[in-house]
Amino acid sequence: MIFRATVIALGLSLWASAGTAQTLSDAELGLRIMANRQQGNCVTCHQVTVLRDAQGIDGAAGKQGDFGPSLDGVANRYSLAQLRQWVMDARKMNPNTLMPPFGTLEGTTHASPPRPMLSLEEINKVTAALATLR
Ligand code: HEC
């Protein structure tokens, strides 16, 4: 009986997570990556009004940093390729930037774990999210 309940619970949670993945667009998933402290954590340095007001997104609510410029309206300032480049390696946009590179380990010596902060798939989702900030 307990075994059967566990199987049903597991099935339900798999079904629920599959359902979430299907209903959220790349841009919505990208916004979640931007708010998540273990992923993009962009809100540590950037104001993003849609995230500040978001409900139910891990890490979204509350204080946002202002070390970097607000990302509101950023899609009006850059092309899709430029937005992606900012996230991939901001040093290609401004050699003196203090924004960390999210898609490469180039220039790092002690990265731990030794992998870029975001995968290419995650960077594509974040780029899709930035493209909605008009
Ligand atoms: C440690 C702070 C920091 C973090 C974390 C950070 N950025 Fe930045 N970002 C900056 C700074 C500072 C700038 C300003 C450009 C410069 O000084 O070179 C910037 C600039 C930008 C720009 C260009 C904005 C404009 O209007 O010119 C974009 C787009 C951007 N960041 C996106 C992101 C995204 C997306 C993330 C998360 C994946 C992120 N940033 C994480 C500090 C940060």
The CB of 99 under 6 Å from ligand 1? The reply is yes
How far apart are the CA of 101 and the centre of ligand 1, in A?
Answer: 10
Q: Is the pLDDT of residue 8 over 80?
A: no
Residue 36 DSSP one-character state: -
Task: Tell me the pLDDT tens digit for each residue of 82-131.
Answer: 999 999 999 999 999 999 999 999 999 999 999 999 999 999 999 999 99
Handedness of CA 36, 23, 104, 50 (dihedral sign): negative
How far apart are the CA of 87 and the centre of ligand 1, in A?
Answer: 8
How far apart are the CA of 131 and the centre of ligand 1, in A?
Answer: 14
Of 41, 99, 123, the one to substitute when testing ligand 1's pocket (max ligand atoms within 8 A of C-beta) is: 99
Task: Tell me the chain's radius of gyration from C-alpha atoms.
Answer: 17
What domains are there in the chain, each with its CATH number? 26-130 (1.10.760.10)
pLDDT of 15 reads 45
Query: Ligand 1: which residue has its CA nearest to atom 17?
Result: 97
The CB of 100 under 6 Å from ligand 1? The reply is yes
pLDDT of 57 reads 87
CA separation (Å) from 53 to 49, 59, 64, 75, 118? 6, 11, 11, 19, 24
Task: Tell me the pLDDT tens digit for each residue of 9-50.
Answer: 444 444 445 555 468 999 999 999 999 999 999 999 999 999
10 compared with 69, residue with greater pLDDT: 69
What count of residues does the chain have? 134
Contact 51, 64 (CB under 8 A): yes
The CB of 128 under 6 Å from ligand 1? The reply is no
Instruction: Please give the model's pTM, rounded to 2 decimal places.
Output: 0.86
